[in-house]
Amino acid sequence: MAAAGRLLPAVTLAWALALPVIVSSRRDVLQLGDADFDYLATEHDTMLVKFYAPWCGHCKKLAPEFDKAATKLKGTVQLAKVDCTAHVDTCTRFGVTGYPTLKIFRNGRDSASYDGPRSAEGIYHYMKKQTGPDSVTVLTEEDLQTFVNHYDASIVGVFSGEESPRMSEFLKAAGLLRDQFRFAHTTQMNLSSPYGLHSEGVMLFRPPRLSNQFEDSVVIFQDFLTISSLRRFIRDHIFGLCPHMTLENKDRLRVRDLLTAFFQLDYKHNLRGSNYWRNRVMKVVSKYVGRGLTFSVANKKDFQSELEEDFGLGTSESGDLPLVTIRTKVGHKYTMREEFTRDGQSLDRFINDYFTNRLKRYIKSESVPERHSGAVQVVVAELFDAIVNDPTKDVFIQFYSPSCPHCKKLQPVYTQLAQMLSTDPTVVIAKMNAIANDVPPGYDVKGYPTFYLAAAGSKDQPVRYEGGRELGDFLRFLRREANHSASKQEL
C-alpha cells in the first residue's frame, strides 16, 4: 500500500477504485468501466456485455434475467456490464446509442451485436452456441452420434477433403449462422452412407426427442451449396411438421399462420407423455400439410400469460387436455372451444372450419359502452370496424395505456381538439385503450400514446402521426391528410 502523502499513478489508482466494486458484488456479472474495459475484456475468449443506464426501465427488467444467465454460463461465457452514465467514453467508443445495448466480444474485440432472447434461458442457449468452433469436426460414428444426440437440431456437412470448395462455403455459413444453429463437418464419407448420402452434401438431423412416424428424422441437401442456399434449406426443414415452440423460437415460427396445441409438455422430465399428445396432433395435421397453415406444440406454463391475455383461455380449464389456438401472421386469432378428443376428431373439425372460413375470430375487447359521452369517441375492439373503418369519415385515433403519464398529460389538449371538431360530421376524434383491447393489424403500437389517421377512402392505409402534441400540430396534420373537403374547410 502506498505510504501516506504519496500519490498512486493514475492507472493504479483507477484499479484501486475499480477492484472493490468487482470483488464485493458477489455476482457473476463483471462490472467494467473506462479504466479497465480493454484489460479485462481481452482475458475472455467470449464475453457478452450489457451497456445500460440505471434509470432505464428496460434495463431494470433485463437485469435479473441477465444475472441468472451469468450464473448458468459461469466458466463458459463471461457476462459483463457497463454503466453508460458513469463510463461515457467506453459506451461512445462502441457506438451505444440506446439502452440496454448488448454486444458480443471475442478476445476483447467487438464481434457482433446480440439480437437473441432477453430471458435467462434464452441468453444461456444463445451464448452457449457462441463458444467453441463455428463447426465441430466429426471423425467417427461415435462422434457423430454424440453431436446429433442433442436437444436442438444439428446440421452436418460431409465432404471429400479439406480442400473441397463446398466445405469452404459450409464453414463460412457456419460462421454466420452459428448463433441460430449447430454445425459439424466431416471428411469421413462413410459416416453418411447409413443416412442415404453417398457423396458430398449436408445432413439435417432433427432433435431425437421429436422423432416420429410421420416424417424423416434426417433430411439431405445436395444442391449447389452457397450460404444462401444452405440458409434456405435449414429454414425450410429444421422445424419439421410439428416443432416444439418455445419462448426463444416463437418469433421464427410465427412468420406464417400457426396452429399451436398447448399442454403439459416437458421433454426433459416426461418424454413419453409429451410425445403422447404431440403424436395425436401430428396424426391430424399431417393431412393439411402445404395448405398454408403450419403447426406446433408448446408448454402451457411457458405461455400461460399469453393464453390468458391474448386468447382468453385459462391454462387450468382443460386439465391435461391440449388447448389449441391459431394465430395468423397478420395477427388474427382463433381458439378451439370444443374439448380436445383423443381420437383427434375435434382438432380435425377445428382445422377444417378454419379453412372453410367458419371460425369466428377471437378479439380481446372491453365491453361496448352503453352510450357515447364526451367529445372524444371511445372505441373498443368489437366496435373498431364500425367506427374507425367507417368509409364515410376521417377518424383520428389515439391508442393509449391507462397508466401512461404522457397520455394523461395530453388529455386536455386531445379533448379540446375533439370539441373544436365536434360540429363536423365527417371527422371523428377517438381513443382506444390498447392494453384492454386488441389493436387491429395495420396499426403498429409499441409505445403510448400512438396516433393514426384512418382517412375516408383509405382505410386500408392508416397514416401514423409523428408530429408535435400541441393543438395546432394536430390541426395542421388533419388539414393536410384528411380526405373530406368538409373536414379541410372546418380545419
Options 59, 84, 91, 242, the catalytic residue = 59
In a domain, 362, yes or no: no
pLDDT band at residue 112 using 50, 70 and 90 as cut-offs: confident
- Check whether residue 403 and residue 322 sit in a common domain: no
pLDDT band at residue 162 using 50, 70 and 90 as cut-offs: very high
In a domain, 262, yes or no: yes
Q: Which of 355, 390, 406 is the last residue of a domain?
A: 355
State the Cα–Cα distance between residues 203 and 147, nearest whole angstrom: 12
Burial class (CB in 10 A: 0-12, 13-18, 19+), 436: middle
Read off the pLDDT of each residue in 116-142 and give the average, rounded to a whole number.
Answer: 90
- Check whether residue 143 and residue 81 sit in a common domain: no
Read off the pLDDT of each residue in 34-44 and give the average, rounded to a whole number.
Answer: 92
278: Cα within 13 Å, side-chain hemisphere: 27
- Check whether residue 220 and residue 156 sit in a common domain: yes
Catalytic residue check, 84: no
Which CATH number belongs to the domain containing residue 330 in this structure?
3.40.30.10
Please say if the pLDDT value at position 481 is more than 70. yes
Contact of 46 with 104, CB cutoff 8 Å: yes
In a domain, 366, yes or no: no
Into how many domains does the chain fold? 4
Options 84, 91, 242, 407, the catalytic residue = 407
In a domain, 94, yes or no: yes
Q: Which of 322, 355, 388 is the last residue of a domain?
A: 355
7: Cα within 13 Å, side-chain hemisphere: 3
Percent of the chain past pLDDT 70, that is, above it, reads 93
Q: Which domain holds residue 423?
A: 377-490
Read off the pLDDT of each residue in 102-114 and give the average, rounded to a whole number.
Answer: 90
pLDDT band at residue 190 using 50, 70 and 90 as cut-offs: very high
pLDDT band at residue 15 using 50, 70 and 90 as cut-offs: very low
**pLDDT value at residue 488:** 52
**pLDDT value at residue 317:** 67
Specify the DSSP class assigned to residue 287: G
In a domain, 205, yes or no: yes
126 closest CA partner among 170, 76, 169? 76
- Check whether residue 86 and residue 152 sit in a common domain: no
State the Cα–Cα distance between residues 27 and 68, nearest whole angstrom: 10
In a domain, 370, yes or no: no
Please say if the pLDDT value at position 22 is more than 50. no
Q: How far is CA 71 from CA 24, 77, 441, in A?
A: 16, 10, 40
Strand-pairing partners, residue 299, are 263
- Check whether residue 145 and residue 123 sit in a common domain: no
Please say if the pLDDT value at position 11 is more than 70. no
Interval 377-388: pLDDT, tens: 999 999 999 999
Least confident of 15-19, 35-39, 165-169, 460-464: 15-19
State the Cα–Cα distance between residues 327 and 127, nearest whole angstrom: 29
- Check whether residue 121 and residue 144 sit in a common domain: no
Catalytic residue check, 56: yes
Please say if the pLDDT value at position 3 is more than 60. no
Q: Which of 96, 128, 160 is the last residue of a domain?
A: 128
Interval 253-297: pLDDT, tens: 999 999 999 999 999 899 999 999 999 999 999 999 999 999 999
397 closest CA partner among 309, 491, 407? 407
**pLDDT value at residue 262:** 96
- Check whether residue 402 and residue 486 sit in a common domain: yes
Catalytic residue check, 242: no
If DSSP codes are grouped into helix, strand and coil, which group holds residue 484? coil
Please say if the pLDDT value at position 138 is more than 50. yes
Please say if the pLDDT value at position 489 is more than 70. no
- Check whether residue 479 and residue 392 sit in a common domain: yes
Strand-pairing partners, residue 29, are 79
In a domain, 284, yes or no: yes
**pLDDT value at residue 216:** 94
Interval 64-90: pLDDT, tens: 999 999 999 998 899 999 999 999 999
- Check whether residue 461 and residue 417 sit in a common domain: yes
User: Mutual orientation of helices 471-481 and 405-420 as an angle, nearest 10°?
Assistant: 60
- Check whether residue 399 and residue 349 sit in a common domain: no
- The backbone torsions φ and ψ at residue 38, rounded to the nearest 5 degrees and listed phi first, read -60, -40
Read off the pLDDT of each residue in 130-154 and give the average, rounded to a whole number.
Answer: 93
Catalytic residue check, 91: no
- Check whether residue 332 and residue 228 sit in a common domain: no
pTM for this prediction: 0.69
Least confident of 12-16, 320-324, 332-336, 479-483: 12-16
In a domain, 369, yes or no: no
Question: What are the E-state strand segments in 282-379?
Answer: 294-299, 323-327, 333-335, 377-378
Higher per-residue pLDDT: 15 or 344: 344
The 377-378 sheet, strands edge to edge: 377-378, 427-433, 394-400, 450-454, 463-465
- Check whether residue 280 and residue 217 sit in a common domain: no
Q: Which three cell numbers stand for residue 49?
A: 456485455
